[in-house]
DNA sequence: CTGTTAGCGCGTTCAC
DNA sequence: GTGAACGCGCTAACAG
């Protein structure tokens, strides 16, 4: 691998001259620049990215940290982030938090391999985050709660979403609405549940214990929870699933028992994943404004990186997407 | 940010001692090690990733280059890559080739910011690839053709897949089969088309010009091509779409015209994307062995990195997934 | 065995 | 346009 030194030698100039010429500085004559460019080409010279990052103490790249590179993939969020990133000449890499403290994500965070990070991963500990957070290294966390001066939080309004879904069902005439929750430690699921309970209460309805079941945000979990619901004998008239994946699993369970949606039971999900549009029937759900969240995250990063001040907490609103799974 | 120097000072030892202690060298007494570790902790010391990469001239990370981080996302492929990567202690990052020569992907490739790369992006030029390829920097390209000694190719057997799909339709009794192609410059689409033509020919059937339509691998493109097909007046009895996205668009077009699948017309796709299972009716398609391709790619990289020799071309077989869109 | 010195790796940038 | 310091961590060689 040719280094800048080789180029300098070949072009017959100083190393610094090569650096200036290659980086488009004004102080180099057109003539010398050509010489340098030619030499670089002949040697197939490529600069070593680290060396330059090391010197600049800036990498110009932002990390998007996901719990698992292999999805479930938030393509809208990524789009939001990506558009802003490229518009401002930053680079974006995605890395996985799979593998705990050994994961790529943690390594990049700790070792300052990027200028800023957007974290959308529940499988990375708060400790790692607070530990890496510091002045001049903006970290944005999505949908989680981290107490730290240098961490900025963006949260989807899960409470409102839960409320909205339940309220919609109630307005449609449903009086007995079940809720299938996410995993026990999920902050999101908790808030959706609170929204559900509040809506029920405000409508003067009871959210009976036996109609709040436990799922885990997976299709399989939704399927199992729904089986249990069916086993209980009497069915509610509607089910609000904590997310779409579980709703899909649940619909599968109903289908197997010959329970029709929405004729026999109504179903609402949460997230509005791409699949939601393609289930039979298409799933009514609460859309998370992922694109907006992503774009906002990048905007905040740019502001911080530019030395500006921003708030440390943002909440983005959900939206009800009416399809055909509710009667 | 504390550096190794600060830690040395605080622990009252030399810089090299700190380095040895932190990297688990034998030559440091337990006592000193503790002192160093404590000092590092107190200062919240994190090593600077670049400095060490620079010295080692090795990053221990592999890049997965995608045409667009925001998908269409090959989650199975990623899984294949990811599993091997983590099993061997390498880091994996995904980056986008969106933005041409300015893209993150190109930068990482040229500037040697990773130890190896897997490229699954048609929007990156062959020139960039051959230009970056060199001894000791394994590059694997998926589903594309690059002439270079240092580039390893893995290709799905698109010809066989195209043949298989068409042959299946023929065996089901279809005599008039249309094909909707991908974009004009797509090598993949070309081979699928060749497979289609060969199957038709072998069965003694004509692949009439008007039944080979042009699409672009998008849902929208499939929709438009299908509209055109319908406009032509007489319908074939089956359509083989160059990929699933187009098939989904096409099914939409048929539905709008009241043409039933599979009663009135049969449909086969290609890829077996996740959605294929959820369309109405579920889509019969050709599955690409993405997981295997990803795992193979990583295995080859590890071998090359370990100094081994590998072939420069691999072909992986497709598989027909029968669902309900064919009569 | 412990710790130190010195120099490397490569590009950037300041002072001349 | 140039020389040299610098960024930061790693490691060989050497002294204690």
Task: Quickly list DSSP for A72-87.
Answer: S--HHHHHHHHHHHHH
State the pLDDT confidence band at B302, using cuts at 50, 70 and 90.
Answer: very high
> Quick one: tokens of A107?
């390594």
State the count of interchain CB pairs (< 8 A) between A and B: 130
Whether B111 and A48 lie within 8 Å, measured CB to CB: yes
Residue A205: what pLDDT? Answer: 94
- Answer yes or no: is B51 CB < 7 A from strand C: yes
CA of A110 to C1' of C3 (A): 29
* Residue ranges for chain A with pLDDT beneath 50: none
In strand D, the nucleotides that come within 7 Å of a protein beta carbon are 1-4, 6-13
* One-letter-per-residue 3-state SS of B211-224: HEEECCCCHHHHHH
Our CA-based measurement puts residue A212 at a distance from the nearest CA of chain B, in whole angstroms, of 28
- Answer whether 0.95 is exceeded by the pTM: no
Strands (E), chain B: 61-66, 91-96, 116-120, 139-142, 151-156, 177-181, 212-214, 238-241, 266-271, 284-287, 313-316, 319-321
Lowest mean pLDDT among A154-168, B66-80, B115-129, B182-196: B66-80
- Count Cβ atoms below 10 Å from residue B234 Cβ, excluding itself: 9
d(CA A263, CA A256): 15
* Cβ-contact B289, B127 below 8 angstroms: no
The CA–C1' separation of B16 and C6, in angstroms, is 11
pLDDT-based confidence at residue B97 (cuts at 50, 70, 90)? very high
Q: What is the DSSP string of B241-260?
A: ESSHHHHHHHHHHHHHTT--
pLDDT band at B271 (very low <50, low <70, confident <90, very high): very high
To the nearest whole Å, the CA of B48 is away from the closest chain A CA by 5
Per-residue model confidence as pLDDT tens digits over B247-256 = 999 999 999 9
Residue of A30, A32, A31, A26 lying closest to A18 (CA atoms): A32
Closest C1' nucleotide to B54's CA: C9
CATH 3.40.50.2300 fits A158-288, yes or no: yes
- What is the structure's pLDDT at A73? 66
Does residue B72 surpass a pLDDT of 70?
no
Q: Which residue is nearest to nucleotide D10 (CA to C1')?
A: B55
Give one DSSP letter per residue of A179-233, joined into a string.
EEE--TT-HHHHHHHHHHHHHHHHTT----GGGEEE--SSHHHHHHHHHHHHHTS
Q: B5 and chain A: CB distance < 8 Å anywhere?
A: no
Under 8 Å CB-to-CB from A14, ≥6 apart: which residues?
A: A8
Using alpha carbons only, what angle is made at residue B263 by residues B261 and B268, rounded to the nearest 5 degrees? 45
Note the pLDDT tens digit of each residue in A181-196: 999 988 899 999 999 9
Q: Residue A250 is inside which H or E element, if any?
A: helix A244-256
Q: At what angle do helices A75-87 and A290-305 cross, to 10 degrees?
A: 30
Crossing angle of helices A30-43 and A15-22, rounded to 10°: 100
Residue A176 contacts residue A236 (beta carbons within 8 Å)? yes
Three-class secondary structure of residue B177 per DSSP: strand
Neighboring chain A residues of B75 at a CB cutoff of 8 Å: 70-71, 73
**If you classify domain B59-155+292-317 with CATH, what class do you get?**
alpha beta
DSSP state of A251: H
> Span B310-324, mean pLDDT?
96
State the pLDDT at residue B26: 78
Among B40, B59, B94, B114, most A C-beta atoms within 10 A, so best to mutate, is B94
A 92-131 residues with CB below 8 A of B? 92-96, 98-99, 102-104, 107-108, 110-113, 131
Residues of chain B with C-beta less than 8 angstroms from the C-beta of A82 = 68-70, 96, 98
- CATH fold for domain B1-46: 434 Repressor (Amino-terminal Domain) (1.10.260)
* Intervals of CATH 3.40.50.2300 along chain A: 59-155+292-317, 158-288
3-state secondary structure of A284: strand
**Closest Cβ opposite residue B110 in set A46, A82, A132:** A46
d(CA B164, CA B286): 8
pLDDT on residue B185: 84
Chain B window 133-162, residues with Cβ within 7 A of nucleic strand C: none
Chain A, 270 to 289: residues with Cβ < 8 Å from chain B are: 274-275, 278-280
More confident residue, B240 or B185: B240
């Amino acid at each position: 691998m040719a280094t800048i030194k080789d180029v300098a030698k070949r072009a017959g100039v100083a190393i610094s001259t090569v650096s200036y010429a290659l980086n488009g500085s004004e102080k180099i004559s057109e003539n010398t620049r050509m010489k340098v460019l030619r030499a670089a080409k002949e040697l197939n010279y490529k600069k070593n990215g680290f060396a330059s990052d090391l010197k600049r103490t800036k990498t110009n790249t932002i990390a998007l940290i996901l719990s698992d590179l292999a999805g479930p993939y938030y393509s809208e969020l990524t789009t939001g982030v990506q558009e802003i990133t490229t518009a401002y000449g930053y680079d974006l890499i995605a890395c996985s938090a799979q593998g705990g403290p050994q994961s790529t994500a943690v390594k990049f965070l700790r070792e300052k391999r990027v200028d800023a990070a957007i974290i959308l991963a529940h499988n990375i500990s708060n400790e790692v985050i607070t530990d890496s957070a510091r002045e001049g290294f903006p970290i944005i966390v999505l949908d989680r709660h981290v107490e730290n001066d240098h961490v900025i939080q963006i949260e989807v309004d899960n409470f409102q979403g839960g409320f909205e879904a339940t309220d919609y069902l109630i307005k449609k005439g449903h009086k007995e609405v079940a809720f299938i929750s996410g995993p026990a430690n999920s902050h999101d699921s908790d808030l959706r549940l609170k929204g559900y309970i509040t809506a029920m209460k405000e409508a003067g309805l009871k959210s009976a214990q036996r109609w709040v079941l436990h799922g885990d945000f997976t299709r399989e979990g939704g399927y199992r929870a729904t089986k249990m619901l069916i086993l209980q004998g009497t069915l509610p008239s509607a089910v609000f699933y904590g997310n779409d994946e579980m709703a899909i699993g649940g619909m599968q369970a109903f289908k197997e028992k010959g329970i029709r949606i929405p004729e026999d039971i109504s179903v609402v999900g949460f997230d509005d994943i791409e699949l939601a549009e393609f289930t039979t029937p298409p799933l009514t759900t609460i859309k998370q404004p992922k694109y907006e969240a992503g774009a906002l995250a990048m905007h905040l990063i740019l502001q911080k990186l530019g030395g500006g001040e921003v708030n440390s907490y943002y909440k983005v609103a959900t939206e009800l997407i009416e399809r055909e799974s509710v009667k």
